Amino acid sequence: MNDEHWKSILGSDADSLEPLVAKLSSEDGPADIAGTWPDRLWGALVEARATRWSIPIEFGGVELDRSTLLTRYARVAEGSLTAAFILSQHDASVRRLIASGPTATARSWLEKIAAGAAFTTVGISQLTTSQRRGTSALTALQVDGGYVLNGVMPWVTAAERASVIVTGAVIAESNEQLLIAVPTDRSGIDIRPAFDLAALQASRTTEVGCREVFVASDEILIGPIPDVMSAASKPGGTGGLETSALALGQARASIDALGEQALRREDLRAPLDALRRSWRDHWNELIAAASESPSAPPASRVRERANALVGRASQAYLTARKGSGFLRSDPAQRLARQALFFLVWSCPAPIAAAAIRDFAGSTCD
């Protein structure tokens, strides 16, 4: 992994994170097969202080700048998309806690998370991209002192490990929305068995039910307002770049693996060079978008191109491995399965439509 090509792009983090990437890479395969909570993967992230990267210094965090944080996400995804996915959901929750002001409740949780005394994740897909239950999947009814929640959070990663879930609910009477920090030990919370996913099973992603769950007024992070996610996304910068960074990190893993094959096969060298050029171009676009450069493409375009590249790179590596790559024990099939994740997770309708047009050969209007 100490390729000068990559170090010239990623800078000092290419070397400083090498031990973490190597550790994650060695553990991702076993975690994928086991499908249980990946203690070794998460332990490696905690040891590297990754859980503090996005937390402000005042709460005990590291508070990395945006470009550095995206680089770190890409490197973690290069080693293990499972680990990167769990971390991304943890950090998505952290960003929403920060976005609240932060409130006194959010400050308390941020301090606990930075100290390693609490684990957080996010359950907001019902207000963003999920179609499983619709935007009214989780509703809130105002009562004395707070609100009562009923319904479900359709997709929550690592829910069984969480101390607090940052979630969103709709007030049926007004159609306004709330962003809420809900402790998982609250009466009425039902953390259901993990879904049987095509990949990333070890992320322990599931549905969380709420039945007459009371949340106090001081546990409301933002709202009630018409579009709570607009307010909650501001500190995260341009939306969707975190997922794009994960896609490019996973693409890098496939490209590097293809490079190992190319050392013995002349026919792979030209395709490998083309994939590397594409990766470099897409990475530069991601960093430009993170830096809010006037010449940067919109975040949606960055995501479309990252999605396409991770699919092509993983399929190229699988094809190069031939029959061996189709064995459950081979990393090529795992990378190919994991690449499918980007087609369905936090994938807004316009980006999904662009992917479908691409699969159709761009022959439809």
Domain ranges of the chain: 4-114, 120-232, 237-357
* pLDDT at 80 (0 to 100): 98
Q: Residue for token digits 């963003």?
A: 128
264 burial class (0-12, 13-18, 19+ CB within 10 angstroms)?
A: exposed
Residue 147 to residue 162: CA distance in whole angstroms = 21
Closest CA to 204 of 34, 23, 46, 48: 34
Tally of CA atoms within 13 A in the half-sphere of 184 that contains its CB: 23
What is the Cα–Cα distance from 100 to 174, expressed in whole angstroms?
21
pLDDT tens readout for residues 196-242: 999 999 999 999 999 999 999 999 999 899 888 877 665 444 448 99
At 260 the pLDDT is 95
Q: 10-14, 124-128, 266-270 — which is least confidently predicted? A: 10-14
Write down the pLDDT at residue 14.
61
If one counts every other C-beta atom within 10 angstroms of the C-beta of residue 20, the result is 20
Contact 52, 60 (CB under 8 A): yes
How big, in percent rounded to 5, are the helix, strand and coil portions of the chain?
55, 15, 30
Residue 271 has pLDDT above 90, yes or no: yes
Residues belonging to the chain: 365
- Quote the pLDDT of residue 360: 86
How far is the C-alpha of 199 from the C-alpha of 231, rounded, in Å? 32
**What is the predicted pLDDT for the residue at 362?**
67
Alpha helices in 151-226 (DSSP H): none
Q: Which amino acid does the sequence have at 173?
A: E
H or E element, residue 201: none
Cβ-contact 278, 307 below 8 angstroms: no
Mean pLDDT along residues 104-121: 96
146-156 and 138-143 strand pairing: antiparallel
Q: Is the predicted pLDDT of residue 281 greater than 70, yes or no?
A: yes
Q: Which of 50, 57, 93, 96 is nearest to 73 (CA)?
A: 50
CATH T-level topology, domain 120-232:
Butyryl-CoA Dehydrogenase, subunit A; domain 2 (2.40.110)
Q: How many CA atoms lie within 13 A of 151 on its CB side?
A: 24
* Residue from 266, 345, 262 nearest 310 by CA: 345
117: alpha, beta or left? (left if phi > 0; alpha if psi -120 to 50): alpha
Pick one of 1.20.140.10, 1.10.287.1080, 3.30.450.20, 1.10.1370.40 as the CATH number of 237-357.
Answer: 1.20.140.10
How crowded is the C-beta side of 301, counted as CA atoms within 13 Å?
10
- For the domain 4-114, what is the CATH superfamily, name and number? Acyl-CoA dehydrogenase/oxidase, N-terminal domain (1.10.540.10)
Query: Higher model confidence: residue 60 or residue 134?
Result: 60
Enumerate long-range contacts of 54-63, CB under 8 Å, 24 or more apart: 54/91, 54/94, 54/95, 55/94, 55/110, 55/113, 55/114, 56/98, 56/110, 59/107, 59/110, 59/111, 59/113, 59/114, 60/110, 60/111, 60/114, 60/115, 61/110, 61/114
120-232 with 237-357: one CATH topology? no
Q: Identify the band that residue 350 occupies on the pLDDT scale cut at 50, 70 and 90.
A: confident
Burial of 315 (0-12, 13-18, 19+ CB in 10 A): middle
List all residues 6 or more positions away from 39 whose beta carbon is below 8 Å from its beta carbon.
none
The mean pLDDT of 48-57, rounded to a whole number, is 96
Strand 206-216 relative to strand 189-191: parallel, antiparallel, unpaired? antiparallel
Write the DSSP symbol of residue 12. T
